[in-house]
A = this chain, B = another copy of it.
């Protein structure tokens, strides 16, 4: 029997990604977002939603570009910090002791120490309500070379990604191959 818990936005689960932008003075800023997801295969696109009050919101509108930086478990505290504090108030990269690298494809910086970055240019901006959704075309994905498996695909075990559910949680055990295990039904 199902019980109603009301109309709310809740992760089941949500990704935990960091949006990299430049502000008006060209200073790199990083902001954590969870209301996000892949939204198209061709062109490859990613959607991320930001509140207008966020410092990163104006940065994305002005530069029409952002990066999506994917953290590993070892970065979970820094990632949470980047969701709490505003880049208006402090240099979030400096306090975290992490490094911004300028993308050579889009007008946005990425986090050197994170294992994965997707470099995006804005294609659509959709006003929904509390949040504005930016749809960015993924111009490239860059992955830490040591985390690529023998076939050139990222090694999921060693990436050490995490998600948002009732808090942050790591990724667990392998359950089966997509577009394959369903043939047994």
Contacts and interface: CB of A to CB of B under 8 A. Distances in A.
B44 A3 contact: no
Interface in A75-134: 76-85, 95-96, 116-118, 123-124, 126, 128-131, 133
A169 B174 contact: yes
A165 B176 contact: no
A143 B12 CA distance: 11
A141 B4 contact: yes
A89 B5 CA distance: 35
Interface of A: 1-15, 17, 34-47, 49, 70, 73, 76-85, 95-96, 116-118, 123-124, 126, 128-131, 133, 135, 137-145, 148, 152-154, 156, 159, 161-185
